[in-house]
Chain A
Amino acid sequence: MNIIHNNNIAVSCAGISKHYKKVQALKNVSFEVSKGEIFGIIGPDGAGKTSLFRILTTLILADNGTATVNGFDVVKNYKNIRECVGYMPGKFSLYQDLTVEENLEFFATVFNTSIKENYDLIKDIYVQIEPFKTRRAGKLSGGMKQKLALSCALIHKPAVLFLDEPTTGVDPVSRKEFWGMLKNLKKQGITILVSTPYMDEASLCDRIGLIQNGSFLTIDTPEEIIAGFGQRLWAAHSKNMNKLLTDLRSNADVKSSFAFGDAVHITLNEDYKTEQLRHELEVKGHTGISIRTIKPGIEDCFMELSKSEKY
């Protein structure tokens, strides 16, 4: 197992595996994250995102493989890593009985620093929650909690920031704000690893890794992943959506079909024309049929990749 000691590498993993009693959480995972990058780990619940984060933040030990964070080994130099990373767990993990300000002060003390010292770094985020600084952390709204947790994770100016599903359970407006903050942090030179189950957040990362069942399907920039889709994609629509999905799935010429919100995204065999499909659907009694070409998104790529993974 070779770890390339490159000064530009913030996080590197080589052949990481982890299993719990019955579940194989991570299978031979390898990847690298460059300094100053926003690296998104995107996958459904139970894909292994949290396990991976916990291994990198030295909270749990991997069964196999090695990993380094900021050049430090996660097993041997775990104490060094704990000094230079910021970690925001998926579950809100601040002291609910303490006020906003007390929480921040507490974590500043824990990390041997003070709020003043790194106030610039958290200023943009903290000013938004400052009006509530005497409120108890447990009484904050979801978005506020995330902002406070992020402030606490940043208080010691970490080199690498690990955010485990920071936007889960947060309203769309706050989510957008949150990603704006991450962009600002990137400008400060902080490497950010962020996991999320939301595919639409993928395009906001510099590079993403699509993860499922403990292994990466692909790791690339969002643009490259979308470009790699390589097929035409149609969105099909009809009055009876449930029937449409079953009918499309029973059609041998439809290569894939997934329900996406109010439409079914489909790919077709090479020589199969949409006119044919429309005709066949009309025969089956569908009305109001529309089939139009669309640009594939990350989610389409994920579906396609996870499908090819299975077979």
Chain B
Amino acid sequence: MILLLMPVIQIILFGFAMSTEVKNTKVVVLANQADEVTRQLIERIDASQYFEIAVIAHNSGDVDNAFRDGTAKLAIIFENGFSKKLTHEGKAHIQLIADATDPNAATSFVFYAGNIINSYQQELMPVQSAAGLIQPEVKMLYNPQMISAYNFVPGVLGMIMLLICAMMTSIAIVREKEMGTMEILLVSPMKPIYTMLSKIAPYFVLSVINFATIMLLSVYVLHVPVAGSFISLVLVSLLYIFVSLALGLLISTITSTQLAAMFISGMGLMLPVMLLSGMIFPIENMPGILRFISNFVPARWYIDAVKTIMIKGLSITEVGTDVAVLSVMAVLLVIASVKKFKVRLE
């Protein structure tokens, strides 16, 4: 039960709670001399899905308070005589103050607010912009709205699948050892490979169910579309599930207690997957040694493949390297666990 619910909870947690996108951010506005232009601009900001005017401040003290008690994350302050200056001098000042306790979020707030102000400015003075004023145009490829779910769904998929598959299987054989049933199984004509396959099989089914749950949630709850071929995605995922199960199996054959197996699969896999798979930190920015290590993290290759297929919408032929690396990993892991499987108790 827990094994089936865990991915649901995690994906929802990552999807909503840990989202870095800007949505309904509370804004405090200070416009001492409200006029037509400031009103329009404020309305424009309020109307956008990114911001919500929470406080209309009357002096700078109100702005400070709004930040302090957390009612606002962004302040927009118009200088006195804003519209007059704009029409007469051709320029006026707006001050944007962001709560930078979360620097990433603050940058996005300012960026979004700046965009809204710019577009308003263009509408207001089409002549000026036509006169060769260079406006940078930023295009967010594949993810124009910068929806963070696009980034983390492949990441969470890679992490959850690895964690659940590896953790479940890592306990599987160790439990037999702890319960003493391994003793009887060993004193039987069962071949080690059959013992291992039969241990993997139920968890494979479970993992596939988990995969399906995550996919359903991402598509229907988080609205992350599958841009590429769904079949390719499933094929890559099945391969990845197999790699994870084999990894768990290897852990299971080398440990002797459930606790140790849990610890290795939990701690030993969680951190590298979180940090080195490109899920949180881009691999390209890592120092050489870490980049090298990240090559051995299966999630890195899987996440890359999922991003390519699911978000970029390319086909399985574009992720040949990822598939090849994962296949090699699968084969090596299975060979290692069969070799490591002890035909005796010690």
Contact = CB atoms under 8 A, between A and B. Distances in A.
Interface of A: 54, 57-61, 78-79, 82-83, 85, 87, 89, 91-96, 107, 110-112, 152-153
Contacts of A153: 184
B186 interface: yes
B189 A59 contact: no
Interface of B: 179-181, 183-190, 343-346
Contact of B187 (A58, A92, A94): A58
Nearest to B190: A110
B345 A82 contact: no
A150 B287 CA distance: 61
B189 A112 contact: yes
Contacts, number: 52
Contact of B179 (A54, A78, A96, A111): A96
Question: What is the interface of chain B mostly: helix, strand, loop, or mixed?
Answer: loop
Contact of A82 (B179, B181, B189): B189
Given A60-B344, A89-B183, 13 more contacts: A57-B187, A58-B187, A58-B344, A61-B346, A79-B189, A82-B186, A82-B188, A89-B184, A91-B180, A94-B181, A95-B181, A110-B189, A111-B188
A110 B187 contact: no
Contact of A87 (B179, B184, B346): B184
Contacts of A96: 179
A87 B187 CA distance: 7
A241 B104 CA distance: 83
- For the complex of A and B, 4 pairs with smallest distance between CB atoms: A93-B180, A87-B187, A59-B345, A91-B180
A216 to B, nearest CB: 23
Give the one of B184, B188, B345 with max A CB within 10 A: B184
Give the one of B183, B187, B344 with max A CB within 10 A: B187
B345 A60 contact: yes
Given A58-B344, A59-B345, A61-B346, A87 B189 contact: no
Contacts of B187: 57-59, 82, 85, 87
A60 B186 CA distance: 11
B180 A78 contact: no
A59 B183 contact: yes
29 contacts: A54-B345, A58-B186, A58-B344, A59-B183, A59-B187, A59-B345, A60-B345, A60-B346, A61-B344, A78-B343, A82-B186, A82-B187, A82-B188, A83-B189, A87-B183, A89-B184, A91-B180, A92-B180, A93-B181, A93-B183, A93-B184, A94-B181, A95-B179, A96-B179, A107-B188, A110-B185, A111-B188, A112-B189, A153-B184
Given A82-B186, A87-B187, A59 B180 contact: no
Contacts of A54: 345
A61 B343 CA distance: 11
A60 B111 CA distance: 68
A61 B190 CA distance: 19
A61 B183 CA distance: 14
Nearest to A162: B187
Nearest to B342: A59
Contacts of B180: 89, 91-93
A82 B195 CA distance: 15
Contacts of B345: 54, 59-60
A112 B346 CA distance: 26
Contacts of B190: 110
A146 to B, nearest CB: 14
A59 B344 contact: yes
Nearest to A84: B189
